[in-house]
Amino acid sequence: MIGPQPGLAGSLGIGALAQRVVLVRHGETEWSRTGRHTGRTDIPLDPEGEAQARLLGPRLAQWKFAEVLYSPLQRARRTCELAGLMAGARPDPNIQEWAYGAYEGRTADEIRADRPGWVIWKDGVSGGETLADVGRRADSVIERVRGVAGDLALFAHGHFLRILASRWCDLPALAGESLALSAAAVSVLGYEREDPAIWLWNDTSHLSAGKS
C-alpha cells in the first residue's frame, strides 16, 4: 500500500483542488482467484468475495460521496451493494473491464503456450480491445468525474482501474502495468495542489481487520 494511512479521508487531496476519487476493485471471483482473464463474462462473486465486499462497508463509511458509479457487471454491482452504497448509485458501462476477446477465460500460462513470452500490457489481446481503446474509455470517465462537485466512488475492475489511475496522472495507459491491484482493494485519486496524484493505492487493511 502506498500513500496516507486509512482513516484520513478529510486530509486527502488538500490544496487548490480537493476532490477525491475512491476506486474499489470488486471482490474475489472463482476466475480472479485462479488467474483467468475476466473481461465481459458476467462472473459472480465467490463466497470469499462476498465476505470481502461486506468488509468494505466500514472502510468506506468515512466518505460522503456526491456520486457512486459501478460497472454493470455483477461482480462490481454486488460489491457496491454489499458495501452499502447501492442507494443512489448508477451503472456506467464505460468502467467495465478490458474486453479480452479470444483470451477471455484463459490464464496467462495458457496464452503463453501459444504466444511464448506474452504480456498483455505490451502484446495486447486477440479480437478484443487494445490498450489504447481502454485508455480512451478511462479518459472519458476522468472527464466526467472531474465535472462532479464532490467525492466519488467507482466500483470496477483490476486492469481498468490500473489504467484509469495512470491516465488520471497524465501517464500512458501502459503505466498501469506497475500498479498491482488486489481484490476488494481501495485506492484514492486526488490532487497535490493542482496536480493529479495518487494518494492511496491497493489498501486491503480492511480485509485483515475482518479476520482479527
Catalytic residue numbers? 26, 97
Task: Tell me the C-alpha distance between 121 and 124, whole Å.
Answer: 6
Q: Which residue, 158, 167, 173, 169, is CA-closest to 199?
A: 169
Residue with cell 483467468: 36
Sign of the four-CA dihedral 77, 91, 103, 204: negative
The cell numbers describing 154, all together, are 467507482
Backbone angles phi, psi at 200, to 5 degrees: -155, 140
Asked if 81 and 106 count as a contact pair (C-beta separation under 8 A), the reply is no
Task: Tell me the C-alpha distance between 79 and 92, whole Å.
Answer: 15
